[in-house]
Structure 1
Amino acid sequence: MRCKKYIYKVCAALAFSVCSVAHADDLENVIKIGYARVNLNTKSGELTGPPGTTPPGLGLGVKDLDVLAMSYERRLSRNWAVQFQAGVPPTLTAVGAGTGQSVGTVATARIWFPTVLALYTFADVPVIRPYIGLGVTYTFFTDQKSSSAYTSAFQGTSSSIHLKGSWSPYARVGFEYQLDKRWIINLEYSSFRMKTVATVVTQTPGIGAISRRVDIKGYPQIFGLTVGYKF
């Protein structure tokens, strides 16, 4: 429910921005769809738990992602636009690192990072038009699952995991090439900050529920190639 509430807030902010400048000249809608490669560039702290329950040096690594990227853009003038972007949420895979590298896959989850951006296009540049963007994103997770390998490593019977969401500024630079009046090709590079806390609760025979946690920080870099349609 909290995730849905944040999505509604992002959508409402976009709608307000569009409506507040509805009088601007040369309004234009653009839908873009394509491929994005997300290099997550994460670092984790050590997994911690109650004294005597967690060996030192256990960390987490996160695999990079391939994303089907989608966005809606409302052009407000020749130079300015507001964009809402989302995509099909990929599966995030966390693996053991440090002394826990042999465990393999530790957890999986769907990762979402809907984003609202203000874009400025250098419209007077011929042929290939550069642009810059700045906005905000909210990263959150669904379908969070801990692996049986993790549970077995701690001699448990079952485990559950929760990954905390976070807000972050979001920056982009890109280039657009106009194929004709309606179609464009877009190449972009984006970056933002990702910060989460993973809390894993393992049911352990003879002891009960043991909660462990690890901090994860990253500065994802996104390389995207999309095709856009104006209407």
Structure 2
Amino acid sequence: MQDKRFLAAAAVALAICGAAHADEPENNAVRIGYAKVRFNLQSGDLTGPPGTTPPGLKIDAKDLDVFAISYERRLGDNWAAQLQAGIPPTLTAVGAGVAAPVGTVAKARIWFPTAMVRYTIPGFSVVRPYVAGGVTYTFFTEQESSPGYNAAVQGAGSSIDLKSSWGAYGRVGLEYPLDKQWCINVEFSSFHLKTTATVDTQTPGFGTISRHVDLKDAPRIFGATIGYRF
């Protein structure tokens, strides 16, 4: 419920901001495009009650393809505020360490809406290099464990919960104007991701066994977008 309220508030703020300044040409921009998210997940060991969980069970994540969309509001000659979202991709978690043979252990939709301030470096005639910094809120929906995980821990079924988190977001990029309104952007971004996964497994003869694993990363994001100013 908290995640839905956050998204609703962001959408309302975006609509109000766009409507209030629609009469000011070229102060607004919308960008859409593609991004590749590469993970290098740092995983702790999956832990549970004594005697229930072998040591060395870790988690990794597969890379993602993301459709991105953002709204930008110019604040001055070189400054702009930006809200970024996109269609949430499905994150696939796989076993690592001792758990590598298990394969897929869980799936979830990952959301990371971001607010940032962008600074365009002046003095360039053909392209416009820029840097940006801000904050992202990462949360997960449609979380489910895999049959492979349940079999590995001898469970009849499991529920999984990934903790939401705030993190710093940074970006560098280049903008190439096609004309007064249209432009192309190429970007490299990264953000801080930290979460804890809690998995409750229904285990025959033992009842519910709860296990936890701490995860952190600084995913690398390579993106290309097309923008329209209005």
Show structure 1 runs of 5+ residues with no match: none
Provide the residue aligned with 1:48 in structure 2: 47
How does 1:1-231 map onto structure 2 within 5 Å? 1-8=1-8, 10=10, 28-231=27-230
SS at match of 1:7: helix
Q: Does the 8 A contact of 1:156 with 1:204 survive in 2?
A: yes
Structure 2 Cα separation of the partners of residues 115 and 11 of structure 1: 12
Shift of 1:155: 1.3
Q: What is the CA distance between 1:66 and its match in structure 2?
A: 0.7
1:14-63 per-position Cα deviation (integer Å, ceiling 9, x unaligned): 789x69xx7xx976111111110111221100000000100111000111
Q: Which amino acid is 1:4 matched to? A: K
Within 2, Cα distance between the matches of 1:137 and 1:92? Answer: 17
CA-to-partner distance for each residue in 1:138-163, whole Å, 9 max, x for gaps?
Answer: 00000000001111111111100000
- 1:26, 1:78 within 8 Å by CA — same for their partners in 2? no
For 1:2, the aligned partner's letter is Q
Inter-partner Cα distance in structure 2 for 1:196 and 1:163 = 6
Normalised by the length of structure 2, the TM-score is 0.93
Q: Work out the percentage of aligned pairs sharing the same amino acid.
A: 60
Tell me, in whole angstroms, the C-alpha distance in 1 between the residues paired with 2:214 and 2:14: 31
For 2:7, the aligned partner's letter is I
Give 1:102's aligned amino acid: P
For structure 2, the 5+ residue unaligned runs are none
SS in 1 for 2:150: helix
1:105-147 per-residue CA deviation (whole Å, 9 max, x = no partner) reads 0000000000001111124311100111111100000000000
CA contact (8 A) 2:26 2:181 kept: no
3-state secondary structure, aligned to 2:6: helix
User: 2:31 is paired with a residue of what secondary structure?
Assistant: strand
Question: 1:200: how far off?
Answer: 0.5
Bigger Cα displacement from structure 2, 143-152 vs 6-15: 6-15
Would the aligned equivalents of 2:58 and 2:97 in 1 still touch at CA under 8 Å? Answer: yes
- How many pairs were matched up? 227
C-alpha root-mean-square deviation of aligned residues, in Å?
2.0
